[in-house]
Amino acid sequence: MFPKKTIRDVDVQEKRVLVRVDFNVPLENGRVTDDQRIRAALPTLRYLLERGATLFLVSHLGRPKGKRVPELSLQPVTEVLEHLLGRPITFVPDCIGPEVETRAAQARPGDVFLLENVRFHPGETKNDPEFARQLARPAELFVNDAFGTAHRAHASTVGVAQFLPGVAGFLLEQEVAILTRALEAPEPPLVALLGGAKISDKIQLVENLARRAKALLIGGGMANTFLAARGVAMGDSLVETDALEEARRLLERFGEKLHLPQDLLVAQRLDANAETRLVSVEEGVPTGWKAVDIGPKTIEAFGQTLREAGTVIWNGPVGVFELEPFARGTFTLAWILADSGAQSIVGGGDTAAAVRLAGVADRMTHVSTGGGATLHLLAGKPLPAVEALQDREA
């Protein structure tokens, strides 16, 4: 059971509600190019609006580092949100101050205000208590529905819960419940598919999953560092030299569970038109070449393990999938997983983008909206934004 109170557990009727959403969406020429994160917030927003709540939506966008950056304004989100909710949205060009308070004083049930990028203020990432107090001032209740920022102890995720009763929205509740269940009570056997560029930020993830899973299938840049730690020549591949000792320790401790590539696709440069060749791990990657994908033998071996799994947790692509010639490994494993019948839990960020590009996102059990938050939770770490909410028992 989700341990915190949710919007079902409190009276939201005609309340003024500060809702932390994750509208950190990609923009191009001032237009939203992917509205997935906006759509993910709709069930919570609709629930509140159906009960006559007045909503003050707060989010970050990008990393403006405490300064007003016009290119990172949330204003372009207004039009998309109006279309999806089917009602007018009032954009407020700041998230604190007189204009916000004036709007709150004049607000009527059902009004929706989208506040400007909370990270335009340095107090947000510093979790400044005074900034959090000003952010909370217009509202009577705080609802956190931004799972993607749940690992951040910021003013809009943790600080405001000191000034307002804080509860979870449906998305936050769902993400935590599904990911926790995949760890604590998976359909056996549990298999983890791990990729991405680095192991340095996934060491605790590897340790936590290795204690629980039957097998960890490792590709991408992560695999390069593990292979180098085994003494495999990696040419000009991305290798975290500072993490080699940690990789050796993990191999020594969990070696029988860590499944590394048997062969690799290599190229001389990260270019769709670059010359490529297949190499076995035994021969290694030649000087001047770099690993860009797993090879067919590895795809077959990893695929067979996925077909036999009851639950699969996938975090990180196994190649440079953004370039079509280097996408075969990631896409093929996505197709195999979609057909496998396993409970498939896909981490956010690049992994979510990969399954969407492969055309199978709707065939996965769960595609997370989080990136760092998903990693944090799967690594067994507490999420500060969840800890800050009211306990269900309280």
pLDDT for residue 220:
95
Q: Please indicate whether residue 196 is annotated as part of the active site.
A: no
Q: Which fold has domain 178-378?
A: Rossmann fold (3.40.50)
Average pLDDT on 353-382 reads: 94
- The answer to whether residue 197 scores a pLDDT higher than 90 is no
Q: Which fold has domain 7-170?
A: Rossmann fold (3.40.50)
Q: Please indicate whether residue 381 is annotated as part of the active site.
A: no
Contact indicator for 149, 373 with CB cutoff of 8 Å: yes
pLDDT in tens, 90-124: 999 999 999 999 999 999 999 999 999 999 999 99
Q: What percent of the chain has pLDDT over 90?
A: 95
Answer whether 7-170 and 178-378 agree in fold: yes
- The answer to whether residue 365 scores a pLDDT higher than 90 is yes
pLDDT in tens, 122-160: 999 999 999 999 999 999 999 999 999 999 999 999 999
pLDDT in tens, 239-248: 999 999 999 9
pLDDT confidence of 393, banded at 50, 70, 90? confident
pLDDT confidence of 184, banded at 50, 70, 90? very high
pLDDT for residue 182:
95
pLDDT in tens, 318-346: 999 999 999 999 999 999 999 999 999 99
Residue 280: other Cβ atoms inside 10 A: 13
- The answer to whether residue 288 scores a pLDDT higher than 70 is yes
pLDDT for residue 306:
98
Set 103, 133, 137, 198: catalytic member: 198
Q: Considering Cα of 251, then 252, then 256, then 257, what sign does the dihedral take?
A: negative
Set 37, 152, 202, 257: catalytic member: 37
pLDDT for residue 371:
87
Q: Please indicate whether residue 198 is annotated as part of the active site.
A: yes
pLDDT confidence of 286, banded at 50, 70, 90? very high
Residue 229 to residues 113, 245, 379: CA-CA distances in angstroms?
53, 7, 22
Supply the pTM of this predicted model. Answer: 0.92
pLDDT for residue 394:
52
pLDDT in tens, 211-258: 999 999 999 999 999 999 999 999 999 999 999 999 999 999 998 999
Average pLDDT on 192-202 reads: 91
User: d(Cα 207, Cα 167) in Å, to the nearest integer?
Assistant: 31
pLDDT for residue 230:
96
User: d(Cα 220, Cα 217) in Å, to the nearest integer?
Assistant: 10
Set 297, 372, 381, 392: catalytic member: 372
HEC string of the chain? Answer: CCCECEHHHCCCCCCEEEEECCCCCCEECCEECCCHHHHHHHHHHHHHHHCCCEEEEECCCCCCCCCCCHHHCCHHHHHHHHHHHCCCCEEECCCCCHHHHHHHHHCCCCCEEEECCHHHCHHHHCCCHHHHHHHHCCCCEEEECCHHHCCCCCCCCCHHHHCCCEEECHHHHHHHHHHHHHHHCCCCCEEEEECCCCCCCCHHHHHHHHHHCCEEEECHHHHHHHHHHCCCCECCCCCCHHHHHHHHHHHHHHCCCEECCCEEEEECCCCCCCCEEEEECCCCECCCCEEEEECHHHHHHHHHHHHCCCEEEEECCCCCCCCHHHCHHHHHHHHHHHHHCCEEEECCCHHHHHHHHCCCHHHCCEECCCCHHHHHHHCCCCCHHHHCCCECCC
pLDDT for residue 46:
98
pLDDT confidence of 200, banded at 50, 70, 90? confident
Ordered by start, the domain boundaries in the chain are 7-170, 178-378
Mean pLDDT over all residues of the chain? Answer: 96
Residue 304 φ then ψ, to 5°: -65, -40
Q: Please indicate whether residue 219 is annotated as part of the active site.
A: no
- Report the candidate in 172, 205, 178, 196 with the shortest Cα–Cα distance to residue 350: 196
Set 196, 303, 349, 370: catalytic member: 349
